[in-house]
């Protein structure tokens, strides 16, 4: 086993400590190892998906973080073919939440979402991916036009 040093925000550490106490962990290392294992397992399952999908990307970020808004806009412009729509919500003086609907190949959607979530200043992020099946979406005829 190796000993490492990590930097964690005070609020996040308080949440980890509270979860450790609630679940009966003896120390921080045990809960952080279990949380890391669970995240890696989830990531492995998520990455196994392939083919076309739709997804919801939700993330909370510090709007004052250095150049974060600019970096996020650049990421979205670089992947404009994946993003369908984004809702921006001001949570408080420091935090904003964005929810983006995505559509595309699962591997590309996952790659894009991972990059957004990993940006410095993004405090929390999660993507939910839903497979849509093979091929192009079927067009249904239904008595009115979409313009």
Per-residue pLDDT tens digits for 26-45:
999 999 999 998 888 777 66
Q: Which residues of 86-112 are buried (b: 16+ CB within 10 A; e: fewer)?
A: eeeeeeeeeebebebebebebeebbeb
Which candidate, 133, 121, 116, places its Cα nearest to that of 56? 116
Question: What does the pLDDT read at residue 92?
Answer: 93
Across residues 69-76, what is the average pLDDT? 85
Confidence of residue 132 (pLDDT cuts 50, 70, 90): confident
Confidence of residue 147 (pLDDT cuts 50, 70, 90): low
Task: Return the sign of the alpha-carbon dihedral for residues 19, 48, 100, 117.
Answer: positive
pLDDT at 136 over 70: no
Which candidate, 50, 125, 113, places its Cα nearest to that of 82? 113
pLDDT above 90 covers a percentage of the chain that reads 57
pLDDT at 113 over 60: yes
**Spatial distance between the Cα atoms of 120 and 61, rounded to a whole number of angstroms:** 9
Which backbone phi and psi does 119 adopt, to 5 degrees? -60, 140
Question: What does the pLDDT read at residue 43?
Answer: 72
Which backbone phi and psi does 94 adopt, to 5 degrees? -110, -25
Confidence of residue 144 (pLDDT cuts 50, 70, 90): low
Question: What does the pLDDT read at residue 78?
Answer: 86
Question: What does the pLDDT read at residue 67?
Answer: 85
**Spatial distance between the Cα atoms of 140 and 97, rounded to a whole number of angstroms:** 34
Task: Show the tokens assigned to 134.
Answer: 């093979």
Kindly report the length of the chain. 147
Question: What does the pLDDT read at residue 45?
Answer: 60
Instruction: Tell me how crowded residue 131 is: count the other CB atoms within 10 A of its CB.
Output: 13
Question: What does the pLDDT read at residue 64?
Answer: 83
């Amino acid at each position: 086993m190796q000993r490492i040093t990590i930097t964690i925000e005070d609020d996040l550490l308080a949440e980890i400590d509270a979860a450790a106490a609630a679940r009966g962990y003896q120390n921080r290392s045990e809960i952080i190892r279990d949380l890391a294992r669970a995240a890696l397992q989830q990531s492995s399952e998520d990455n196994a998906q392939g083919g076309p999908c739709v997804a919801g990307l939700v993330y909370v970020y510090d709007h004052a973080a250095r150049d974060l808004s600019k970096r996020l806009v650049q990421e979205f412009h670089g992947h404009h073919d994946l993003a369908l729509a984004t809702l921006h919500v001001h949570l408080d003086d420091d935090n904003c939440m964005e929810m983006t609907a995505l559509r595309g190949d699962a591997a590309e959607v996952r790659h894009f979402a991972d990059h957004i979530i990993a940006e410095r200043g993004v405090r929390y992020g999660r993507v939910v991916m839903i497979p849509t099946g093979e091929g192009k979406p079927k067009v249904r005829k239904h008595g009115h036009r979409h313009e």
